[in-house]
A and B are shown apart, each in its own frame.
Chain A
Amino acid sequence: MKKFSWPDRTNEYWRRASFLKPPQDFKISDISPVEKWEILPDFNTHISFSNGNLIDQDLKEGVSIKSINPNDSLSRPGSIPGGEPWNQWTISNGNVYQIDIDDTFPENEPLVIREKICPSGKISSNYFFCNIKKNINLSIYYLIEGSGEGFHSGGFTIVLDSSSNLKLMHIQDISKKTDARFNWEIKNNKKTNSEWNLAALGGRSVRHECRLELQKESNSSLKGVYVPYDGQRHEFQTQQDHKEGDSTSDLLLKGAVGSGSRGIFQGMINIRPEAQKSNAYQTNRNLSLSRNARIETIPGLEIEANDVKCSHGATVSKIDPYSLFYLSSRGIEKNEAAKLLAEGFFYEVSDNFPKEIRSVVNESINKRLLEAF
Chain B
Amino acid sequence: MSKEESFSKDFSEFDNYQFGHHDKVKHIASTGKGISRDVVSKISELKNEPSWMTDIRLKAYEVFEKKPMPSWGPDLSEINFEEFTYFIRSTEKESDQWEDMPQEILDTFDKLGIPEAEKKFLAGASAQYESEAVYHKLNEELGKQGVIFLTMDQAVKEEPELVKKYFGSVIPASDNKFSALNTAVWSGGSFIYVPPGVEVNTPLQTYFRINEEEFGQFERTLIIADEGAKVVYNEGCSAPKWAKSSLHAAVVELVALDNSRIDYQTIQNWYKNIYNLVTKRAVAKKNATVTWLDINVGSRITIKYPSVMMMGEGARGEVQSIAFANEEQLQDSGAKMIHGAPNTTSVVTSKSISKGTGRSSYRGLVKVLKGAKNSSCRVECDALLINEESRTDTYPVMDISEDDTQIAHEASVSKVNEDQIFYLQSRGIPEIDAMKMVVNGFLEPMVKKLPLEYSVEFQRLVELELEGSVG
Contacts and interface: CB of A to CB of B under 8 A. Distances in A.
A303 B409 CA distance: 18
Interface in A285-332: 286, 288-291, 293-318
B438 interface: no
Contact of B411 (A12, A298, A312): A312
A312 B394 contact: yes
B456 interface: no
Contacts of A276: 388
Contacts of A308: 385, 413-415
Contact of A290 (B72, B389, B403, B410): B403
A299 B386 contact: no
Contacts of A317: 405-407
Given A294-B401, A301-B394, A273 B389 contact: yes
Interface size class for chain B?
A: 35 or more
Contact of A303 (B396, B407, B413): B413
Contacts of A309: 412-414
A122 B109 CA distance: 73
B396 A305 contact: no
Nearest to B390: A306
A306 B72 contact: no
Contacts of B393: 300-303
Contacts of A75: none
Nearest to A266: B397
Interface in A132-156: none
A290 B403 CA distance: 6
Interface residues of A, number: 35
Contacts of B412: 309-311
B112 interface: no
B403 A314 contact: no
Contact of A315 (B392, B395, B401, B409): B409
Interface in A22-72: none
Contacts of A298: 395-398
Contacts of B389: 273, 306
Contacts of A5: none
**Does more than half of chain B's interface fall in helix, strand or loop, or is it mixed?**
strand
B467 interface: no
A108 interface: no
Contact of B403 (A12, A288, A312): A288
B336 interface: no
B383 to A, nearest CB: 8
A288 B405 contact: yes
A323 to B, nearest CB: 14
A10 interface: yes
Contacts of A302: 391, 393
Contacts of B395: 298, 300
B398 to A, nearest CB: 5
A332 to B, nearest CB: 21
A294 B400 contact: yes
A276 B418 CA distance: 14
Closest 10 A-B residue pairs measured CB to CB? A288-B403, A306-B385, A301-B394, A311-B412, A316-B407, A310-B413, A314-B409, A306-B415, A295-B400, A297-B398
Given A306-B385, A306-B390, A315-B408, 11 more contacts: A10-B71, A273-B388, A293-B401, A296-B400, A307-B415, A308-B414, A308-B415, A309-B413, A310-B413, A317-B405, A317-B407
Interface of B: 71-72, 368, 370, 383, 385-415
27 contacts: A10-B72, A276-B388, A286-B400, A288-B405, A291-B370, A291-B402, A296-B398, A296-B399, A299-B409, A300-B395, A301-B393, A301-B394, A302-B391, A306-B385, A306-B388, A307-B388, A308-B414, A309-B414, A311-B413, A313-B411, A314-B396, A314-B409, A315-B407, A315-B408, A317-B405, A317-B406, A318-B405
